[in-house]
Amino acid sequence: MSRTVTKTTFTIALLLMLMAVPALGATVNKSIKIEANSEAGGATSVNGSISIGERAVVTGNVKTVNGTIRVDTGASIEAASTVNGSVRLAAGVQSESLNTVNGSIKVGENAAVDGEIQAVNGRITVDSGSTVANDVSNVNGQIELVGTEVGGNLKTVNGDITLEQESVVKGDLFVEKNSGWGWGKSRSRKPRIIIGPGSRVEGKIILKREVELFISDTAEVGGVEGEMSMDDAVRFSGDRP
């Protein structure tokens, strides 16, 4: 599957990373809590969730295999990765990359992600005032940007994409060809792509498969190419098509 990491490769890479666990801050079957206003060098679990308190500073990676990662308001972390679980960032959190295989990723308001956001089977939501320095991508699941700036590309295979409240994508928006990846009916349905009012895709919308494409009259895109063209887009006024 071009341009989008495959589920198998991504899963293996995460598992190898999670197996390389330092002795400090590591556990197998317990959840980990880092208290508010504290400092830590990282946290790793296998069958446990990880919680980071308000304004805590974590200078290492936060990793688990079967568990959710929650980061509270104003905290700072390095990369956060899980295989079977979600990643939840509250408002004002600073982080590097966010990754999951089977789970959703939620980024609160005014957060800063200095790397990429990547999921395989899961929804990705980024709230108002937040920035992502690199790519945002998944295979299955909705991607919703609300007043967000993405410095790289936006990518999916079977997922719907919505840009709201003057969101900006500095790179391209890709919908990749379905090569057998999918959840049931998602393999045959057309993804729904909505570029909402005032939002911009500064690169191109590159479609390797047909989609339902809606572009607001006040949105800006650098063009549509691939299986569809700009003439195939449905233009709309108002908040939603």
Per residue in 177-210, pLDDT (tens digit) is 987 655 555 557 899 999 999 999 999 999 999 9
Mean pLDDT of the region 18-40:
72
How many domains is the chain partitioned into structurally? 2
Looking at the fold, whether 82 and 192 belong to one and the same domain comes out as: no
4 has a pLDDT exceeding 50: no
How far apart are the C-alpha atoms of 173 and 159, rounded to whole Å? 12
Nearest residue to 147 (alpha-carbon basis) of 126, 132, 161: 126
pLDDT score of 189: 86
Looking at residue 190, the DSSP 8-state letter turns out to be P
Q: Which residue segment(s) compose the domain that 24 sits in?
A: 1-103
Looking at the fold, whether 97 and 135 belong to one and the same domain comes out as: no
Which of 103, 134, 162 delimits the end of a domain?
103
pLDDT score of 2: 45
14 bridge partner residues? none
19 has a pLDDT exceeding 50: no
Which of 42, 71, 103 delimits the end of a domain?
103
Looking at the fold, whether 143 and 88 belong to one and the same domain comes out as: no
Strand order in the sheet with 32-34: 32-34, 50-52, 69-71, 87-89, 105-107, 124-126, 143-146, 161-164, 192-195, 212-216, 234-236
Looking at the fold, whether 191 and 88 belong to one and the same domain comes out as: no
Looking at the fold, whether 34 and 52 belong to one and the same domain comes out as: yes
Looking at the fold, whether 210 and 167 belong to one and the same domain comes out as: yes
pLDDT score of 9: 52
Both tokens of 183, joined, read 């959840």
103 has a pLDDT exceeding 80: yes
Looking at the fold, whether 134 and 180 belong to one and the same domain comes out as: yes
pLDDT score of 29: 73
Binned at pLDDT 50, 70 and 90, residue 127 comes out as very high
Is-contact 187 158, C-beta < 8 A? Answer: yes
Looking at the fold, whether 5 and 55 belong to one and the same domain comes out as: yes
Mean pLDDT of the region 158-176:
97
pLDDT score of 185: 53
Both tokens of 235, joined, read 């233009």
Looking at the fold, whether 85 and 109 belong to one and the same domain comes out as: no
Mean pLDDT of the region 69-88:
97
Looking at the fold, whether 40 and 75 belong to one and the same domain comes out as: yes
How far apart are the C-alpha atoms of 159 and 143, rounded to whole Å? 7
How far apart are the C-alpha atoms of 104 and 122, rounded to whole Å? 4
Looking at the fold, whether 175 and 200 belong to one and the same domain comes out as: yes
Looking at the fold, whether 37 and 48 belong to one and the same domain comes out as: yes
Token look-up 């069958």 returns: 47
pLDDT score of 25: 53
Phi, psi of 196 (to 5 degrees): -80, 180
How far apart are the C-alpha atoms of 25 and 3, rounded to whole Å? 35
Which of 50, 68, 103 delimits the end of a domain?
103
How far apart are the C-alpha atoms of 87 and 211, rounded to whole Å? 28
Q: Considering the chain, what percentage of its residues have pLDDT values greater than 70?
A: 85
Mapping DSSP onto H, E and C, the string for 94-123 reads EECCEEEEECCEEECCCCEECCCEEEEECC
71 has a pLDDT exceeding 70: yes
